[in-house]
Structure 1
Amino acid sequence: MKLFSCPACSQVVFFENVVCERCNHALGFEPRSNRMLALEPDDGIWVAAGRHSDGGSWKYCDNYQFGVCNWLVPGQGSDTLCAACRHNVTIPDTSDPQNVALWQKMEFAKHRMIYTAMRLNLPLLTRAEHPEGLGFDFLTETSSGERVMTGHDRGLITIALAEADDAEREKRRTVMGEPYRTLLGHFRHEVGHWYWDRLVRDGSALSECRALFGNDEEDYGEALQRHYQNGPKPNWQDEFVSSYAGSHAWEDFAETWAHYLHIVDSLETGHWWGVSVDPRVKDSGLLTTTIDFDVFGEATTIREILDAWLALSAALNSFNRSMGHHDLYPFVISEVVTQKLGFIHDLVHRRVGAA
């Protein structure tokens, strides 16, 4: 995630900020140019202030009124929803303040996922633009207590609003035996299923994908039932990025996709913070890095990315341990997983499958 500064006063500001605490300008994120704008009101719309004052006019996404979005759309255009919120199909009942509070957490995570997809120049078709376009249902449990299951179906991603409740998500994490369960992780995983459809199935990359991830035509329901009944495959760490990835080829792809997004977004954060890791002990050099490269650049190799990630994640895990928390990234990337991440890297840069 890029680090921003207020164009009016140069105060450091962050992705979800809506006001600069130093100069009090309203702030909004303009996704097409990947910049944060300082804004001043002008006859019902907004104009950019400070160093990005280029005469353009802007308005906030309609969901700004609920405190869940700070993205901008052109002030003179007909769009009312931003590039992230236009993918929403069902939103919670906004008359319930608790729903809105949980929805805000959902949107913050979803916007970060969309941000990374845009930085990678990935397709982002809506349900209106394609029969299997990317859409989101944010659902609450019914009055009868029927549980909402998070999942993906032909582009429509369902996320249980209860996942935004920290206590509920921790309970589900324990029941499901998942060492790493976050809202952002959910979005990155589920959107991986959609990108399998778009880039692998529809992108003529099936043979290359199957060579690494296995047979996607295996019965999905039976595979999941076997996984939950028998537990993870023995020695799954040798071939999969997580135990769940071993349940089916689709889940292997989605888990690997999510981890790729975890890694590149974290490295971009490290880049913008000027992070260097250089342990003050004798070591083999594996845990030394300076994140001074463009992680989204086509010329950047997966080996460069993973070498930097090994050093950064080791340092971050150590910080978490010092604070009494679980490891930030409790996973081991084997050589087989490295090859799978390399496939994802080549896929997003259009080096496999259709041109």
Structure 2
Amino acid sequence: MNRTPSSSSAPDAPAIISTSSQSSLNLSVHPLPLLNISEHFTRTCLQVGKPSPLVIGALLGTQNGREVEILNSFELAYSGAEEAPLLDHAFMVTRREQYKQVFPSLDFLGWYTVSPLPTQRHFSIHTQFAAYSESPLFLVLSPTAITNASEDIPLHAYEAAVEIVDRKSRTVLVEVGWKVETGEAERISVDWVARGGGEGGGSLASHLQTQRAAISMLHERVLLLVRYLTGVLTGQAKKDHDAIRALSALVASLPASEHLEFRKEFDTEYEDVQLTSYLATLTKTASTLNDLVDKFLITTANKESSRDAHSGPGGPGGAMHGPRRMGGGPGGNPRIATTGFNYHRPEDTWMRQTARTYD
């Protein structure tokens, strides 16, 4: 139903929301901007002492064609009365540049406020964001729509469009469908915030409660998938090939620990790893033993060379002080027959010692 203001000059008159056209945007909202909007509104209510103050903030995210994803938000300042607020553009530009330095991939996508429904006052604020985006999004959080039986988030998204009625053009708000997009870290954080935060100790009980909550969430999601597949098999649920392919890929990635072929292949790989480890250990041991043998040979050769040097030519009681023996004679060395001296060379000692060691 079109909600048309009874008087276009009234700032709180409902804005025109078109029902004849639907937006083709695929909008995803993350939990962080939802928490920021709620915290901004609650804090402002306590500061000004009013039940429904005007709050304005910017939305940051990414856009790829008609795929829009809102990831973050920040507060905005305005001047003037709440009936005709004027956006503080200098503050807006400064904060946007600051966020751009920290989150370079996020762009300005639109703005948010808190109200039971969009009004002409919000529409006038919406036109002030035209300098930052060609088609800014408009998010409205309606906390008064929350009831005990309601489980949906009271959030509505709009984009401005031009509609021709009776050969006259007018600017209307077209409602955009949206969904909550969460990652694993965001789900854990939201669950932690929903339970009132930590107890200040990081005790074992708190850790176990967190693990139990995570396991319970996983169990609920697995049951949801099982119910969906059961409904598809019985024809009660519509078949979604993308979801079925995703489930097939998920099941294929799970370890088949009870399968005979998997166990056989696992044992083979385990034995290969063990053999490689044993071979590396044996190689290291052989290298260490080889180094030890080399050091022992060098030490023994040095001692033998020192002993031969004291008893050999030039030493006390050596051949230089005794009778000169020609090579080839009794006690001579045929290898040094040309010199006529009988002495041991260091390399001869090394060869003898090496031969004795390996024998």
TM-score tier, shorter chain, comes to: under 0.3
TM-score when scaled to structure 2?
0.22
Say which one has the larger Rg: 2
